[in-house]
């Protein structure tokens, strides 16, 4: 049996997880207080993608893990399958902990980007970008959001380059 040299793979995986954030839309809230961000957020709007397809009543709950990573629990109702679905992952800061630029993993060593682009002073509403212009969320501490806040966040998204017609 041939011995496989796994060293290139051990080097490549961390590099891939770092480069995954290279294409994320620029910008992240600073200063950012992770303790104020923890808790339950309701998804108000999103650009739909395969993991959230056919989902409604989606929430994201953030809490601190003992290793200082952030536990991310996403939950929603799949109205096609008539059942609740949830997935748990973890997030970590890309650099400084006062900059809302994180990477999140739901599938092993593979991370994707998560930047909080806009956040009100009371941490009640958030505009979040994923790894590219195909991923965007508007979140709220309540299941509704004032129209003026939503309009302001949509304006920010358009200026960055998002197609807000794709929001569900």
Residue 76 included in any domain: yes
Q: Which domain holds residue 43?
A: 25-166
Residue 133 included in any domain: yes
> CA–CA separation, 72 vs 90, rounded Å?
5
Q: What are the DSSP calls for 93-145, one per residue?
A: ESS-TTS-EEEEEEETTEEEEEEEEEE-TTS-EEEEE-SSTT-EEEEESSS--
Residue 17 included in any domain: no
C-beta atoms surrounding 20 within 10 Å: 16
Residue 63 included in any domain: yes
pLDDT at 22: 54
One pLDDT digit (tens) per residue for the chain, 168 residues: 444 433 333 333 343 444 456 556 678 999 999 999 999 999 999 998 777 889 999 999 999 999 999 999 999 999 999 999 999 999 999 989 999 999 999 888 888 889 999 999 999 999 999 888 888 999 999 999 999 999 999 999 999 999 998 888
Which are the contacts of 74, defined by CB distance < 8 A and separation ≥ 6? 58, 59, 60, 61, 86, 87, 88, 89, 106
Residue 14 included in any domain: no
Residue 138 included in any domain: yes
pLDDT at 131: 86
């Amino acid at each position: 049996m041939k011995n496989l040299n796994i060293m290139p793979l051990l080097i490549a995986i961390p590099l891939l997880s770092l480069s995954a954030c290279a294409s994320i839309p620029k910008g992240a809230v600073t200063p950012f207080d992770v303790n104020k961000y923890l808790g339950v957020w309701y998804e108000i709007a999103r650009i739909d993608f395969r993991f959230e397809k056919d989902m409604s009543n989606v929430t994201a709950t953030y809490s601190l893990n003992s290793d200082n990573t952030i536990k991310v629990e996403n939950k929603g109702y799949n109205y096609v399958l008539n059942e609740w679905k949830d997935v748990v992952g973890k997030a970590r800061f890309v650099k400084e902990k006062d900059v809302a630029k994180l990477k999140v993993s739901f599938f092993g060593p593979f991370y994707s980007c998560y930047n909080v682009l806009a956040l009100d002073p009371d941490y009640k509403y958030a505009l979040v970008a994923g790894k590219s212009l195909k991923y965007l969320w508007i979140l709220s501490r309540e299941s509704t959001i004032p129209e003026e806040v939503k309009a302001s966040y949509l304006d920010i998204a358009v200026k960055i380059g998002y197609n807000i017609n794709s929001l569900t």
